[in-house]
Structure 1
Amino acid sequence: MTLNSLTIAEARDALRKGDFTAEDLTMACMTAMDAGDALGAYVHKTPDLALQQARAADARLKADDAPAMCGIPLGIKDLFCTKGVPSQAASNILCGFKPEYESTVTAKLFASGAVMLGKLNMDEFAMGSSNESSCYGNAVNPWKVDDRLLTPGGSSGGSASAVAADLCLAATGTDTGGSIRQPAAFTGIVGIKPTYGRVSRWGIVAFASSLDQAGPMTKTVRDAAIMLGAMAGHDMKDSTSADIPVPDFEAALTGDIRGKKIGIPREYRMDGMPAEIEKLWNDGTAMLRDAGAEIVDISLPHTKYALPAYYVIAPAEASSNLARYDGVRYGHRAKLAQGDGIVDMYEKTRAEGFGAEVQRRVMVGTYVLSAGFYDAYYNRARKVRALIKRDFEQVFEAGVDAILTPATPSSAFGLGEMANADPVEMYLNDVFTVTVNLAGLPGISVPVGLDAKGLPLGLQLIGRPWDEAGLLNHAHVLERAAGFVAKPEKWW
């Protein structure tokens, strides 16, 4: 087994025993990273910083002052601001932007001794489900079953690709409507979106501020527990960050869920659901039942309104958040003709800097916030959101501990296959995941099996607010029962 294919837990234990150094581990990941350029996962490599951090981690390991993440090489999604390193959110409008500050999440990871290998590809401003809207070009799924290049999912496509291909031990992702869980399912890895407020959003480029949440993308549930512990915690710089103690998530992985209630929502049985997804869901249900959980049918009646409500609220918040990118203070500024004024500069800069999908969402958002349509669209969507949240509250009040659903409506599709489709078809990739963001709940995607073509499929578990510990334990049981160990064959 090569060093870069280790899990966080395996690497942590081996580093503490002195089997190899953090520098050895980082070098192995950098070799894999350079050999994996065909995947388009890394967009800004930081080898000098990585080696500097690895040597500092080795010093801490020698001094017996090593937290769990000490010496662990990570990829960081390009949405996280990293001091002195390009942080573009995969958009031309932020070309050349190097922050003078560190996001809270990366600061916490670095304080725990983690190593940054580089910045990872993503959909522009995190808007997309296929990583095809990036200014850097597509990220590619390392899984390949025919002559097509497949999507790794989005928006955290580079993160998913890098972890699945062993180009790092783990990666950061962000999830606004499924952007951690959907790419995790498409690439056969684990991705957890924590409760809204569990992880600070400070220093993460905003898409939709009431929905965005950062989380880890890892090879195993145990790794997700370890990394989430390092990322989570109260932050005075983020007014939505919750001042709630962070439990020991790894210690919660008892593997015992006897007597726990698992809800199966009838509204998630969509018309035309592929038979493979249906079977996977039934198999996952049986695995949890065999582990001693009680399976109960539940109803989330407002689920059918989740996708339209999400695609009103998220673009509305995006149009507000993206108003700051105007060519005045930082990033790209359009070349102006003689006689052009300030308004011309704004218009040309935004037209050149934003890609088509971002422009579409900004226009939709501006429309639903406009005077004549605010009540008809935005206010109504907010009311629907409250109803969706109430559905979940009632289920949890009735004693349900977690909810099991599919993670995605299909396995990974080919890059370019949806290019000419109705945008709504692409948006349907989020059909099982957006409710979790609208309700602010924790959700995790766990790889459970392969489809007939040999591509990974995942199941999603949704937990009670602030109960990431319980959610991770349920996911740990599901992971162990499924025994998913398949890896993509190296073709890149």
Structure 2
Amino acid sequence: MSIVSLSTGEPTCTVEDVRAIAGANGFIIPPGGADETAFLLFANAFDATCEEVIKLPEYEDPRLKPVVVEGGARGFHQPDAKENPLNAWAHRTTLQTATAEGPLSGRTIAVKDNVSVGGLPLGLGCSPGLLKDGKHPISPIDAIVVQRLLAAGATIKGTATCENLSMFAVSYTSHSGVVHNAWLPGYATGGSSSGCGALVSIADVEELRRSGKDSRNYSLGEGVDMAVGGDQGGSIRLPAAYSGIYGLMPTHGLIPYTGIAALNPLIDHTGPMTRTVEDAALMLGVMAGYDGIDPRMTPESPMPDKVPKYLEDLQTWVAEREKMGEWTAKSAAKGLRIGILKEGFEIVGLDPAVSNVVKAAAERFRSLGAEVKEVSVSLHKHGAAIWTTAARPMMPNSISGNPPDLLSYAMPHLQPNPIGQAYYDTLVHRNPAAVNILMNAAHMQRKYGPALARKAHMHVWELRAAYDKALEEVDVLITPCNNTVGPKHPAGTAKTAENPEGFSERIMDLFEPAIGNTLNTCSFNVTGHPAMSMPVGWGKVEGSDGRLPIGMQLVGKRWDEASIFRVAKAWEVGGRWQDS
């Protein structure tokens, strides 16, 4: 068949189009000759092929059809400031199945605003002007994790504010404005799952008030028992650390990412954010397991019926120790091997007060009967550089709506506008990191070509092997999670009558509080190791007599979340973190 016969109707490409396409690829086709005529023919044939697909109706995978909920129709509203004083809610709803029976029955959940919930807007923390038609799409699907949570009896109370395009590690870049720390309004709750951190921590703040240890009475609004966060460089663990809750980034490929807006499949993770270790284990057991769609999952990923019973395992382990008389402040951690990662305490910008609190928390394991020793992984100090150069080149694809190389569900209802001046103008004084990612990717391509990213991917394997080797000697590696307590929101980020957009005039005012705060978290996104932040104490804040939580990161072997849960639970026998 000739290429001419592939084209139907009038040609849509001109010679000028062919010349522009060639120029975009950095070469020139000799004008007016046979070569140019041939490529014009090819261009029109290819365009006809494209039009054939464009005319097909969008396909909605029946596996992602929204779960039938009580009452049938799904509604939502955007809460006002009175209902949403921390600005942690993006949209409110109440979704549960008619029976609402299961392991999560009676439990309330919020999901990050990059997770598809059928019938609700998908906000991404960004201006609607960045998206097709200038509005946030109403999702026609339920993400797999949403389906599984509802099937387990959970009640979804809404979507939680996230940082602009999930591209910031503190909580003042969302289009809706700053997200306040529930422990100290005016200070960051971490990002990019910022609203999730604030909403889950509300109950702990209220508990401290009821105990009489906190007499403040500022408004908090309604919180939730649990939340679904997303993590590409620390975006579950950092807000968990800043908010005094538990935030688990599971092994890459354990929980399906299907129906969640991606940044890069290499580093995309979703996971639980909870008030207790037990709830993290419970929620993980519900969310985990192969879904047949997500290319992040591999032959190592368990089928749903083979997912470990994490909560049951933890409870059995505790019960056995209680039976042996070992569940005490002197022996609860007996037999556990704790590795204090030396390089994790040498990162740039680590507050000495944070370092001291985490070291003291790690040393507690010794008094609890564990073996505690310092472990060195020298490549850890290069982990952030490896993460950046390995992951950065593909991020513009996600920003522009291009699908990844491997087959996945690409959410066709979510269509960003083309990258251009409007993108820059919208974000440069709201979230300059999103602009910087484009600049970084272009810089890499222009100066180094693809060779640098290829080299970085090889070093990912080296880094994974280095952590694997260290974890042969210990059950978990310990590092600080947040390098400082939650910073104060920069001037200009709060929306006011004088500054209704909440734009900061100086880009560096936005960047400075975030510098270095992913240095201990992002490397595990590329190596795929599970890591959890757990609260272990308090730190003083600048500009206030208040205090904010400090998180300790526990890193485990790939597919060994059970050890992380055991280590965290044993630590608690030595006393509650709030009382430290």
Q: For this structure pair, what is the TM-score category when the shorter chain's length is used for normalisation?
A: 0.7 to 0.9
Task: Choose from 330, 335, 338 the match for 1:259.
Answer: 335
Tell me, what secondary structure is at the counterpart of 1:161? helix
Task: Choose from 161, 169, 174 the match for 2:198.
Answer: 161
1:463 counterpart letter in structure 2: G
Which residue of 1 is the match for residue 466 of structure 2? 391
Q: How many residues align?
A: 429
Q: How does 1:291-306 map to 2 (within 5 A)?
A: 291-306=368-383
Q: How does 1:226-241 map to 2 (within 5 A)?
A: 226-241=282-297
Which residue of 1 is the match for residue 442 of structure 2? 366
2:252 counterpart letter in structure 1: Y
In 1, the alpha carbon distance for the partners of 2:234 and 2:419 equals 32
Which residue of 2 is the match for residue 120 of structure 1? 160
Which residue of 2 is the match for residue 152 of structure 1? 189
In 2, the alpha carbon distance for the partners of 1:124 and 1:363 equals 17
Does residue 277 of the first structure (1) align with residue 354 of the second (2)?
yes
Tell me, what secondary structure is at the counterpart of 1:455? strand
In 1, the alpha carbon distance for the partners of 2:297 and 2:80 equals 33
Please, which moves more after superposition, 252-261 or 164-173?
Answer: 252-261
Q: 1:83 to 1:400 in 2, by over 3 A?
A: same
Which residue of 2 is the match for residue 246 of structure 1? 307
Q: 1:424 to 1:318 in 2, by over 3 A?
A: farther
In 1, the alpha carbon distance for the partners of 2:157 and 2:106 equals 11
Task: Choose from 519, 528, 542 the match for 1:440.
Answer: 528
Q: 1:480 to 1:365 in 2, by over 3 A?
A: farther
In 1, the alpha carbon distance for the partners of 2:416 and 2:272 equals 34
Q: How does 1:12-91 map to 2 (within 5 A)?
A: 36-46=83-93, 49-50=94-95, 53=96, 56=98, 59-60=99-100, 66-91=101-126
Tell me if the contact between 2:112 and 2:160 (Cα under 8 Å) persists in the aligned partners.
yes
Max radius of gyration: which structure? 2
Q: 1:378 to 1:226 in 2, by over 3 A?
A: same
Unaligned runs of 5+ in 1: 1-22, 24-29, 61-65, 335-344, 488-492
Tell me if the contact between 1:160 and 1:189 (Cα under 8 Å) persists in the aligned partners.
yes
Q: 1:123 to 1:272 in 2, by over 3 A?
A: closer
Q: How far 1:451 sits from its partner (Å)?
A: 1.6
In 2, the alpha carbon distance for the partners of 1:272 and 1:96 equals 37
In 2, the alpha carbon distance for the partners of 1:165 and 1:264 equals 31
Q: Cα RMSD over matched residues?
A: 2.7
Q: How does 1:186-225 map to 2 (within 5 A)?
A: 186-225=242-281
Q: 1:325 to 1:234 in 2, by over 3 A?
A: closer
Which residue of 2 is the match for residue 12 of structure 1? none
In 2, the alpha carbon distance for the partners of 1:333 and 1:303 equals 35
Q: 1:251 to 1:421 in 2, by over 3 A?
A: same
Tell me, what secondary structure is at the counterpart of 1:420? helix
Q: How far 1:419 sits from its partner (Å)?
A: 5.5
Q: 1:428 to 1:229 in 2, by over 3 A?
A: same
Q: How far 1:331 sits from its partner (Å)?
A: 5.9
1:383 counterpart letter in structure 2: M
Q: 1:275 to 1:367 in 2, by over 3 A?
A: closer
Task: Choose from 436, 455, 472 the match for 1:380.
Answer: 455
- Compute the TM-score of the two structures, normalised by the length of structure 2: 0.69
Q: 1:486 to 1:164 in 2, by over 3 A?
A: farther
Does residue 475 of the first structure (1) align with residue 568 of the second (2)?
yes
Does residue 321 of the first structure (1) align with residue 398 of the second (2)?
yes
2:178 counterpart letter in structure 1: N
Unaligned runs of 5+ in 2: 1-69, 71-76, 204-222, 319-331, 404-411, 492-505, 541-545
In 2, the alpha carbon distance for the partners of 1:84 and 1:431 equals 37
Tell me, what secondary structure is at the counterpart of 1:234? coil
Map Cα deviations across residues 206-236 of structure 1 (whole Å, 9 max, x no partner): 0121111101111111111111111111110
Tell me, what secondary structure is at the counterpart of 1:252? helix
In 1, the alpha carbon distance for the partners of 2:385 and 2:193 equals 22
Tell me if the contact between 2:537 and 2:578 (Cα under 8 Å) persists in the aligned partners.
no
Tell me, what secondary structure is at the counterpart of 1:251? helix
In 1, the alpha carbon distance for the partners of 2:201 and 2:276 equals 11
Q: 1:470 to 1:36 in 2, by over 3 A?
A: farther
In 2, the alpha carbon distance for the partners of 1:308 and 1:396 equals 22
In 2, the alpha carbon distance for the partners of 1:419 and 1:475 equals 39
In 1, the alpha carbon distance for the partners of 2:282 and 2:80 equals 23
Tell me if the contact between 1:315 and 1:365 (Cα under 8 Å) persists in the aligned partners.
yes
Tell me if the contact between 1:448 and 1:479 (Cα under 8 Å) persists in the aligned partners.
no
Q: How far 1:460 sits from its partner (Å)?
A: 0.8
Which residue of 2 is the match for residue 99 of structure 1? 139
Tell me, what secondary structure is at the counterpart of 1:150? strand
1:220 counterpart letter in structure 2: T
Q: 1:421 to 1:161 in 2, by over 3 A?
A: same
Tell me, what secondary structure is at the counterpart of 1:403? strand
Map Cα deviations across residues 21-47 of structure 1 (whole Å, 9 max, x no partner): xx9xxxxxx9x998551200001111x
Tell me, what secondary structure is at the counterpart of 2:115? coil
In 1, the alpha carbon distance for the partners of 2:143 and 2:425 equals 27
2:464 counterpart letter in structure 1: K
Does residue 347 of the first structure (1) align with residue 414 of the second (2)?
no
Please, which moves more after superposition, 411-420 or 68-77?
Answer: 411-420
Q: How far 1:480 sits from its partner (Å)?
A: 3.4
Which residue of 2 is the match for residue 407 of structure 1? 481
In 1, the alpha carbon distance for the partners of 2:233 and 2:199 equals 21
Task: Choose from 412, 427, 449 the match for 2:537.
Answer: 449
Tell me, what secondary structure is at the counterpart of 1:285? helix
In 2, the alpha carbon distance for the partners of 1:33 and 1:108 equals 30
Q: 1:112 to 1:84 in 2, by over 3 A?
A: same
Tell me, what secondary structure is at the counterpart of 2:460? helix
Tell me if the contact between 2:282 and 2:311 (Cα under 8 Å) persists in the aligned partners.
yes
> How high is the sequence identity, in percent, across the aligned residues?
26
1:118 counterpart letter in structure 2: G
